[in-house]
Structure 1
Amino acid sequence: MATPHNEASKGDFAKTVLMPGDPLRAKYLAKNYLDNVRQVNGVRGMLAYTGTYKGKEVSIMGSGMGMPSIGIYSYELYTQYDVENIIRIGSAGSINKDVHIRDVIIAQGACTDSAWAHQYELPGTFSAISSYDLLEKAVCEAKKKQIHYHVGNIVSSDLFYHADVEASGRWSNVGCLAVEMESYALFANAAYLGKKALTLLTISDSLVNDEKETTAQERERTFTDMMEVALEIA
């Protein structure tokens, strides 16, 4: 059953989907890590592939940038394609002096400046968190691979260019490790629909340390620690 944003048929997606923001990262991962790989979506250039990794069926699909984009794709994967688990594999900017370029973050939860949760008309504030079993598996795999990782809270922002240049510092003051633009919506969709979600992030730049940021090609092809953890737990 195709949707306006996805031409795949029912059954084309595995139960677990890895979601990088960049569709070219999805293509790179599929071509370099999956066996028996086939493309299942190309609508709007949002490439999606299904294949096997060490004998287990896995799908990889780009999410695009921002909460509206990942919100659409993850909602359709959960509701129209019977996907059970989505693991976001993305990049983020560090807002903590102890979190450095190429470190991996395993996100426990996501704060936001978005109005995403207003749709639920809750009598309070919704805390968007990852699924514990996926989180636990990721931590175990990161330890096994001896990856330099952090577990903690992140910020999902609607704004890449923020008029308030001090905003990231205030998020850092309450313990947030990094800022990105997608995870809150993914975690909220999973919670609302009774599904599972996790975010793994590689630090691509720092808002607090004087470190050289990664290039677009490096973000596409060299964040292998994060990618391999996600594949192992898929």
Structure 2
Amino acid sequence: MTVHIGAKPGDIAETVLLPGDPYRAKWAAENFLDNPVLVNEVRGMLGFTGTWNGHKVTIHGSGMGMPSLSIYANELIRDYGAKTLIRIGSCGAMQKHVGVRDVVIAMTSSTLGSPSRGIFRDMNFAPCADYKLLQAAVEATKGMDVPVHVGGIYSSDTFYDERDDLVDQLTRHGTLAVEMEAAELYTLANRHSVRALAVLTVSDHLQTGEALPSDQRERSFGDMVEIALKAAFTD
């Protein structure tokens, strides 16, 4: 048990999927895991452990933004022995060829700042995904009826961002999408020598203003959960 996670020793799997929304964790656990058990509900941040194809898996909410993600990822790695952490969440598309409902697999994640920024001082550390996980995720998409994009994303700690100039420059430099957690997750994984990846569903588009209707989100979000699970257990 930690300050933020009430799970007992052995309750958390070595493979953890991290949606930001705790209720998305509940939905994913109920729809993809066999015999999911609630292992954490401290501060309403739900975590469930069950099995997928015989493999033990935990699906645990991480909250919104890098500071919140940092708390849960640190404790999951340090206190519960998590070895593979995959963010499953939504993102906003920044390129015209990336559509709503598409899946984005993040190779790298840029950021203006994260909870780890102070460690590097004047160094611009470039956090990246685990290559084998990324490769396995790309392989997992074969045969699926969903467009997939692989490349760099942007992790912002400001949801209502008014830096249009920054968005323009990131778009100009090929950034696929924006979300709020992956850069810190990748940094922590690099620091602690564990595996991390972000598999994201495009829920809205910064250029067109298109957004995924709420009644269509579950089916689309299911694709990224399936990709994440297959990637986690590919030898």
SS of residue paired to 2:27: helix
Mapped pair 1:229 → 2:207: no
**Counterpart contact for 1:22–1:220, Cα < 8 Å:** no
1:86 paired with 2:60, answer no
Q: Matched residues in 2 for 1:111 and 1:121: separation?
A: 14
Q: Distance in 2 between matches of 1:22 and 1:123?
A: 33
What residue number does 2:158 align with?
159
State the SS of the aligned residue for 1:129.
coil
SS at 1:119 equivalent: helix
Deviation at 1:214, TM superposition (A): 2.0
Residue-by-residue CA offset, 1:63-88 (whole Å, 9 max, x unaligned): 11000011110011000000000000
| Alpha-carbon distance in structure 2 between the residues aligned to 1:7 and 1:210 | 40
Contact 1:157 1:180 in 2 (8 A): yes
Q: Paired residue for 2:66? A: 67
Flag structure 1 segments of 5+ consecutive residues without an equivalent. none
Query: Are the equivalent residues in 1 in contact too, given 2:114–2:184 (CA < 8 A)?
Result: no
Contact 1:155/1:178 (CA < 8 Å) preserved in 2?
A: yes
Partner of 2:142: helix, strand, or coil?
Answer: helix
**1:54 corresponds to which residue?**
53
Q: Could you tell me which amino acid in structure 2 is paired with residue 56 of structure 1? A: H
Normalising by structure 1, report the TM-score: 0.94
Quote how far apart the aligned CAs of 1:121 are: 3.1
The alignment of Structure 1 onto Structure 2 pairs a total of residues equal to 232
Given residue 221 of structure 2, which amino acid in structure 1 is its aligned partner?
A: F
3-state DSSP of counterpart to 2:141: helix
Asked if the contact 1:24–1:220 (Cα under 8 Å) also holds between the matched residues in 2, the reply is no
How far apart are 1:171 and its partner, in Å?
A: 0.7
Cross-structure match for 1:125:
124
Q: Displacement, 1:122?
A: 5.3
Whether the 8 Å contact between 2:85 and 2:196 is mirrored in structure 1 is: yes
Q: Percent identity?
A: 45
| TM-score, normalised relative to structure 2 | 0.94
1:117 touches 1:126 (CA, 8 Å); kept in 2? Answer: no
Contact 1:28 1:221 in 2 (8 A): no
Give unmatched runs, 5+ long, in structure 2: none
Q: Deviations over 1:59-117 (max 9, x none)?
A: 10011100001111001100000000000001000111111100000100100011434
The answer to whether the Cα contact below 8 Å between 2:38 and 2:46 also exists between their aligned partners in 1 is yes
Aligned 8 A contact 2:153 2:177 in 1? yes
1:191 is the counterpart of 2:155: no
1:160 is displaced (CA, Å) by 1.1
- Match of residue 147 from structure 2: 148
Indicate the residue corresponding to 1:44 in structure 2: 43
Q: 1:66 to 1:216 in 2, by over 3 A?
A: farther
AA of the residue aligned to 1:159? T
Deviation at 1:123, TM superposition (A): 5.4
Counterpart Cα distance in 1 of 2:160 and 2:16? 29
The question of whether the paired residues in 1 share the 8 Å contact of 2:19 and 2:61 is answered with yes
Letter matched to residue 28 of structure 1? W
